[in-house]
Chain A
Amino acid sequence: MAEIHAQENILEKLYSEPKNLWKRLLILAVLLVIVGWGAYGFEIGLDENGVNMAKSIFNGLTHPETELFNLGPKGIPYLILETIAIAFLSTVIGTILAIPVSFLSSTNIVPRPVALIFRAIVLFIRTIPSLVWALIWVRVTSTGPFCGVVTQSVCSIGMISKMNVTAIENLDTGVLEALDACGANTFEKIRVGVLPQLSASFVSTAIYRFDINLKDATLLGIVGAGGIGSPLNDAIGNMRWNRVGAFLIVLIVMVVIIEFVSTRIRARLAQGRR
């Protein structure tokens, strides 16, 4: 090791440097072990077959089937309409149903035990993945877009309620005291004192959920809940890659556009413009 020439006080300071090298190495080692365990026993089943398949998938994605763009009930425009309809309707239903649920799970509105019961229900809804909800609801509604609407409405209630509860618990309660002083009843208090404070954030959450529902609609189609997901699933299963290409491109364009628009609207809502 090269000798270091420096003044006494500098050297003293140099050697007093807090040592956290070991701590860092330990964290790194733990990370490596976890990742190593995760990757242990992985087989990358890539053979010649797979490469050829990748080529034909890529070829299909870049040469989408154009005849799907017809106006019939199997054409892409109708499927898009159906997908948007499922997402839209379930967002509306979910938002409406989430309003009472979220008030009933806010500790500053109802007594604590009541709030906890409703929170448990919301937690239960959120724990089961939407795909599984669809599998359950299919027994009630049978396959088709209606199943998608019911499933997504229920899943929307879970997520929207959670977001709304946060907004409700941050309410400015001064207004409510003022209304109490004027002798307003509970309904009047909610209508005049609470809703104006919350409407912007509720609408913002609903738009955000519409985004998610639109993406999930593809997923639910796989189990037969309608929308563009069902024919997409069939096309992948039958390895008709040109068809898959057409569906995916339309889907991506739709989601990207809707996301762009919804981000804009939510940014405006956050700034308080209408």
Chain B
Amino acid sequence: MIKNILDRILLRPQVITLENGHEVTRPRSKAPYLLLLLVIGVYISVRTTGFDIAMFVRRFNQLPVILGRIFQPNFGFFSTVWPRLVETIKMSIVGTVLGCILALPLSIVSSSNIMRHRVVLWIVRVLISITRSLPAVVYAYLFSFVFGMTTFAGSLAIAVFTVGIVAKMMYENIETIDLGAFEAMRSFGGTTLQSFWTACMPQILPQYLDNCLYSFELNIRQSAILGYCGVGGLGVLIRARISVRAYEDAGMIFLLIFVVVFAIDLINDRIRSKIIRGH
């Protein structure tokens, strides 16, 4: 009702009369109003965040100094970084595997074409989006109180976060699959679960593996900073070195993260191309 009135006032189509008397109605564009909203939004944001371009310009020279030091990594620091790096990788492997395994049943229950029970569907979906809405660092921080400052707390945090993203990608995938074989199995007496597993799983398996690999890449990056709250891995080092402004050491850490992420990227690409070839 209100929207209608607003449409009438603000978006009244413009009538253009051509020289020969023909009339054309031109729908009014919403763009000016959206632009106005954008400007208001920017103004409020600038006021709230204390945006200070003068300070930024004045102290910008700090940045090249820091970056310059990061780009001269201290290779002697390698022996200190290595065990932490291994810890980070272990943490993300366990977290990813746990998360991916848990995500599969959740994604089945939250696919609208398989799950007929609307209430359960929406409860599970909300749960999934809750696990996704907080960064893994916050979970790690909370778990560190329960499980101590262990890598297990970190893995658990990664697992929770992974469940959220993988389950969401999976139910979006499942909702687009062809349900013919599923229907056929239902027709000769399969339960929903049996039919899904036998008829739909071969269809979504490549996508599932792909999503698992993707989340693994993401988790390697994430777990590098998880340790910032003390649950083990590289984050502990990053925090310690940067707080004493040892940027050369930090540079070494970043270099190693980059190398590992790059290597895992390569391995994943090879696995992916195998999956696509229909192994």
- Chain A positions within 8 Å of B, measured between CB atoms, are 34-35, 37-46, 50-51, 53-54, 57, 81-82, 84-86, 88-89, 92, 127-129, 131-132, 135-137, 139-142, 144-146, 148-150, 215-216, 218-219, 222-223, 226, 232-233, 236, 239, 244, 248, 251-252, 255-256, 259, 274
A148–B49 CB distance below 8 A: yes
Q: Closest approach, in angstroms, between the C-beta of A9 and any C-beta of chain B?
A: 27
B45–A38 CB distance below 8 A: no
A146–B62 CB distance below 8 A: no
- Chain B positions within 8 Å of A, measured between CB atoms, are 30, 38, 41-42, 44-46, 48-52, 55-56, 59-60, 62-63, 66-67, 70, 89-91, 93-94, 97, 126, 129-130, 133-135, 137-138, 141-142, 145-153, 155, 221-222, 224-225, 228-229, 238, 242, 250, 254, 257-258, 261
Q: Closest approach, in angstroms, between the C-beta of B111 and any C-beta of chain A?
A: 16
From known contacts A145-B48, A256-B126, infer whether A140 and B59 are also in contact, taking CB-CB under 8 Å: yes
B126–A53 CB distance below 8 A: no
B50–A218 CB distance below 8 A: no
| Complex alpha-carbon distance, A222 and B144, angstroms | 15
Q: Closest approach, in angstroms, between the C-beta of A124 and any C-beta of chain B?
A: 9
A45–B148 CB distance below 8 A: yes
Q: In the complex, what residue of chain A is closest to B67 when comparing beta carbons?
A: A136
Q: Report A-chain residues with C-beta under 8 Å of the C-beta of B60.
A: 140
Q: Report A-chain residues with C-beta under 8 Å of the C-beta of B229.
A: 222
A50–B146 CB distance below 8 A: yes
| Complex alpha-carbon distance, A39 and B93, angstroms | 8
Which of these, A42, A88, A215, A216, contacts B152 with CB under 8 Å? A42
Which of these, A81, A85, A132, A216, contacts B254 with CB under 8 Å? A132
B30, B146, B150, B242 interface centre (most CB from chain A within 10 Å):
B146
Q: Report A-chain residues with C-beta under 8 Å of the C-beta of B257.
A: 127
From known contacts A44-B147, A45-B147, infer whether A82 and B49 are also in contact, taking CB-CB under 8 Å: yes
